[in-house]
A and B are shown apart, each in its own frame.
Chain A
Amino acid sequence: MIQLERISKWHMQGGRPVFILKDINMTVAEGEFISIMGPSGSGKSTLLNVIGMLDVPNEGGYNFMGNDVFKMKEKQRSALYKHHIGFVFQAYHLIDELTVYENIETPLLYQDVKGSERKAIVADMLDKFQIVGKKDLFPSQLSGGQQQLVGIARALIAKPKLLLADEPTGNLNSKQGEEIMGLFKELNNEGVTIIQVTHSEKNAEYGSRIINLLDGRIQM
């Protein structure tokens, strides 16, 4: 599904390159659940963003489901991630002005899904996450765990093949964290490929594979 080849990213500081990512080679098969670990500043989030096509490295190649990502135009690339990738953030990043229902519905709007169909899909999702009762609330009226549930629901609404999560439990207490991780496991069993960035050994254990990052390099 994903092949990264010799991905490097740096910025210049005092005339010398400082590497954020260095020679990353990585392959992810469909159905995997990967945890990326490493200390602060090791490049985890950057790597995730590169995979999510939100960030571009200075060097290297990226093949996503048979597409050479870096050779694609901006528009094709966003169409690609729009259809195949869902994002979950540590800070949830729900839209404050929209209700739970509307937050979840928004990706479908952007994909021009018809009204009736949209309704059915969102209703299913609310059902599945057991947040039907909260659908008319605004994010500020929810607890952190609930907000993250909505965030995940929103990420999954367009049936992506790949779910990218940047410290999804970072702002949650341990009980809420466990629930989210359980959910990830479940989703993975249903066939969604997941890559998460995490600090926690425990959460990393939910994955099928762990990639350790230190100073921008993968530790073997």
Chain B
Amino acid sequence: MIKNYLKTALRNINRYKGFSGINIVSLSIALTGCLIIGLFVWDELQYDKFIKGGENIYRFYTKRTDNTGVTSTASVPPMFATYVQQQYPEVENTNRIIMLNSKMLVENGDVKTYEEKWIATEPSFFNFFPLKFLKGEPNTSLSDPNSIVITEDFAKTFFGSQDPIGKVIKINKSDVVVKGVLANLPPHFHLDFKFIMPLSALGLPKERMQNWQWQQFFTYIKVKPGTNIQQLQNKFQLAVKKEADPKNKERGFTFSPYLQALKDIHLTSSDFIYDNAKRGNADYVKALTIIAIFVLIIAIFNFINLATARSFRRAKEIGVRKVIGADRRQLVLQFTSESVLLAMASIIISVIAALLILPSLNRFTEKNISFPFFSNPLLALSILLAGIVIGILAGIYPALFMSGFQPIKVLKGLKPGAGNTGFSSSLRKGLVIVQFALSALLIVCTTIVYRQITFLHNKDLGFNKDQVIYFDVRGDVEKHPETFKQEILRTPGVVSATAGYGLPGDVLAGDEIIVPGKEGDKTQSVNLFIVDHDYIKTMGLQLVKGRDFSRNFATDTSEAFIINETAVRELGFKTPQNAVGQPLAWNKWEKDSLNPVKKGKIIGVVKDFHYKSLHEKVSAAVLQIYSPVIAKMAVKVKAADLPKTIAFIKSAWNKFSPDYPLDYKFLDENFAIMYKAEDKLSSLLWIFTVMAIFVGCMGLFGLAAFSAEQRTKEIGIRKVLGASVMNIVTMLSKNFLKPVFIASVIAFPVAWWAMNKWLEDFPYRVNISWWIFAVAGIAALLIALITVSFQAIKAALSNPVKNLRAE
């Protein structure tokens, strides 16, 4: 019996090539999309699943509230770990990783590199994360302050085939001993590093580690199985209120601790300001899943639409089969097996397509996703099973519908069951509406996302990030930055140079500034920029009031501050006019007993500049000259002869600091990276929108063909009666435009809502203007019209005599 069904199914697929083609192609496209997205989503969900006992590991993060709103960060004060370990018996163990973003110069003889990926942590790290040791021993490898644990690849770079254990390498010029070699990190570990140093190597003073304010540590806790995490969190929130709030409130903010499960770190940390984890974005994963389902729905609806639309063609076969003894169940089985066969063909095509696309996907997502279709029988089986389910989903309604035909009617050549066709044609209209609503939704979302991203990339940041290279100062360049500046300024390719700490898009210092007042001092937390006389010029900041730092005023190096417009408001000066001349004070970082506090005046106000990503609001910024801390240098260069200029800077560097290689970067690179997630989302949205529209159009094309075919006789008669080609095209196309219109009306509020929600996360965003909807609506309409009119024109141009004779 099944053999017979399959045979008929194959012959039917072959006989109705157009129908089968549309279905197989649209299903294949949709399934390929689903597979690709499925692989991506699956991979995103695998993070940290490999860690044994991981269900008992949590990480702290804090929500900080101040007058600009609420921000979250995974970096917490050192006392969090100390306190929970001491006070709560259900906490078995804790681990802290310090947040440090500096590059380390690693040297072994002639092999030198700067390494960004490293961590400094406590020995308990390996108790939390049982990483595989190729050599060495987890329990003792971090106990000595000058020890280091390195990964396999790192060991190869520095030691080749030698055994690294016990060997000495230099990290930032100090000797450390290799105590362990880790196997390369599993791809689904949320941390990424090349080496681990013991926290003790940093020699942090004890009192710093007893701080409740210094948010500098990523802190993990391991709890006893069965611990009520909500209770633990509540309890600790109260503790933090008591311990940290009083001091925090003085500075105008409070923070509250939260716990996130280890397995959630990867996907639920995307809006943390500071985090060292490899982060995904749960919203984007969800969005992609939804889009994949959209495309699949559109393809399944194509099948239902086309199958019911063409059912009249098969009516005779159905009638005959019933008369010679088929019961409904048998017919349902027959038709469903046809759709299952189509779905299976599609799934095989899409598996092949997914395998072909996978390398590009990996390049695009910078992941290493594998698709072990042939080596994992369970996966292969479930994919094939999914094919069967999709076939059944798509085929069951048309099967039930067609098997309900009354043989007597269809054999007489009547349209099968008038009531039935009525329902099925309104169902078809309904499904087309849903399809186009989904497409219109995607069009609107894609357009808005695209506009927002263009906006992010092109917004005037209030400074000029182009043609600026920057690097860490080291050796003699660090000791004599001014001399080095003068040296490189000798080449015409260098426009200006500035040394300090705090470049836009780079590591920034947060500190407090003191506003002396009649009722005592007020402290306010700000972003602190250590600059020199050339910073404003080099960065292209715009002064709105007052003046720049000047070498003509000797006191500028010790008593002058420049603030931004946000600081004007937050420090309570109201207007830039008013701010200039006001006193400010600051506790120096390197204490000198004579003047621990720098007291000075505001000499100028700069326009707000976006030194962080546009995901964050500009906060108060204070610029000052403070020569003890010079960490970076930024150089504005001319575009012409850039390689020559860079070569010149390099040779100057080598004269000053021959022990350190020059490691420079362009400032705008940092800004490009900031919107990478959005860039990728936008590209994916484009791809899937085009996919959805294409699949939807294929269905519409098929429907239009059937509709034209069904009305061949009518068209013939109308033409004989004098209808023009245009009349006919209009008549045939009109029917399809109404659903598109209704679809737009349904889709637009949903799109508006979704995009509004997405845009809310951006403090700087585009408006959702009405024209986007107009354009999306017109686009959907045009696409539908072009698709449909192709068939309509074909029908309208056909010879009426021939059509009528065929009837």
Residue ranges of A at the interface with B (Cβ–Cβ < 8 Å) = 49, 52, 54-55, 75, 78-79, 81-82, 86-87, 89, 93-98, 102, 105-107, 109-112, 154-155, 158
Contact = CB atoms under 8 A, between A and B. Distances in A.
12 contacts: A78-B322, A94-B320, A95-B8, A95-B320, A97-B8, A102-B4, A102-B7, A106-B321, A106-B324, A110-B330, A111-B325, A154-B324
Interface in B277-318: 316-317
A106 B12 CA distance: 16
Contacts of A78: 322, 325, 327
The 5 closest A-B pairs by CB, nearest first: A82-B325, A110-B325, A97-B11, A54-B408, A107-B324
A54 B12 contact: no
A107 B325 contact: yes
B757 interface: no
A102 B3 CA distance: 12
Contacts of A105: 4
Interface in B402-437: 406-408, 411
A199 B677 CA distance: 79
B164 interface: no
Q: Which of B1, B316, B320, B322 has the most CB of A within 10 A?
A: B320
B15 A87 contact: no
Chain B interface main SS type: helix
Contact of A98 (B8, B323, B406, B407): B8
Contacts of B408: 49, 54-55
Contacts of A94: 320
A126 B386 CA distance: 43
Given A95-B317, A97-B15, A102-B4, A158 B325 contact: yes
Contact of B327 (A93, A110, A155, A158): A110
Given A54-B408, A97-B317, A102-B7, A110 B324 contact: yes
Q: Which of A52, A79, A95, A105 has the most CB of B within 10 A?
A: A95
Contact of A93 (B15, B325, B330, B411): B411
B317 A54 contact: no
B134 interface: no
Nearest to A164: B323
A102 B406 CA distance: 23
B326 interface: yes
A55 B178 CA distance: 92
Contacts of B7: 102
A71 B330 CA distance: 24
A119 B4 CA distance: 13
Nearest to B410: A93
B419 to A, nearest CB: 16
Given A54-B408, A110-B330, A93 B320 contact: yes
B504 interface: no
A19 B749 CA distance: 56
Contacts of B8: 95, 97-98
A52 B407 CA distance: 11
B481 interface: no
Contact of B316 (A52, A75, A93): A93
B316 to A, nearest CB: 7
A112 B330 CA distance: 11
Interface in B189-247: none
Contact of B317 (A75, A96, A158): A96
Contact of B4 (A49, A54, A109): A109
B180 interface: no
Contacts of A82: 325, 327
B777 interface: no
Contacts of A98: 8, 11
B739 interface: no
Nearest to B323: A87
Contacts of B604: none
Contacts of A87: 323-324
B411 to A, nearest CB: 6
A96 B319 CA distance: 13
A55 B323 CA distance: 12
Contacts of B326: 106, 110
B595 to A, nearest CB: 98
Nearest to B1: A109
Given A97-B15, A106-B321, A109-B1, A89 B411 contact: yes
Interface in B379-413: 406-408, 411
Interface in B1-24: 1, 4, 7-8, 11-12, 15
B724 to A, nearest CB: 37
B119 to A, nearest CB: 68
A81 B407 CA distance: 13
Interface in B316-344: 316-317, 319-327, 330
Contacts of B321: 95, 106, 110
Contacts of A106: 4, 321, 324-326
A54 B323 contact: yes
Contacts of B322: 78
Given A55-B408, A78-B327, A105-B4, 17 more contacts: A54-B323, A54-B406, A82-B327, A89-B411, A93-B316, A95-B320, A97-B11, A97-B15, A97-B317, A106-B324, A107-B325, A109-B1, A110-B321, A110-B325, A110-B327, A111-B325, A112-B1
A134 B321 CA distance: 21
A29 B326 CA distance: 27
B400 to A, nearest CB: 15
Contacts of B407: 54
A106 B531 CA distance: 90
A98 B406 CA distance: 21
A214 B15 CA distance: 43
Contacts of B330: 110
Interface in B598-639: none
B7 to A, nearest CB: 7
A55 B410 CA distance: 12
A203 B150 CA distance: 100
Nearest to A46: B408
Nearest to B317: A95
A193 to B, nearest CB: 18
Interface in B425-455: none
A132 to B, nearest CB: 20
Contacts of B320: 93-95
A93 B315 CA distance: 11
Contacts of B316: 93
Contacts of B406: 54
B407 to A, nearest CB: 6
Contacts of B11: 97-98
Nearest to B324: A107
A206 B326 CA distance: 31
Nearest to A96: B317
Nearest to B326: A110
A116 to B, nearest CB: 14
B325 A75 contact: no
B12 A97 contact: yes
Contacts of B323: 52, 54, 87, 93
Contacts of A110: 321, 324-327, 330
Q: Which of A107, A109, A112 has the most CB of B within 10 A?
A: A109
Nearest to B331: A110
A118 B522 CA distance: 99
B307 to A, nearest CB: 16
A109 B411 CA distance: 21
A172 B408 CA distance: 22
A106 B324 CA distance: 8
A96 to B, nearest CB: 7
A111 B321 CA distance: 12
Contacts of A75: 327
Contacts of B324: 86-87, 106-107, 110, 154-155
A80 to B, nearest CB: 11
Contacts of A55: 408
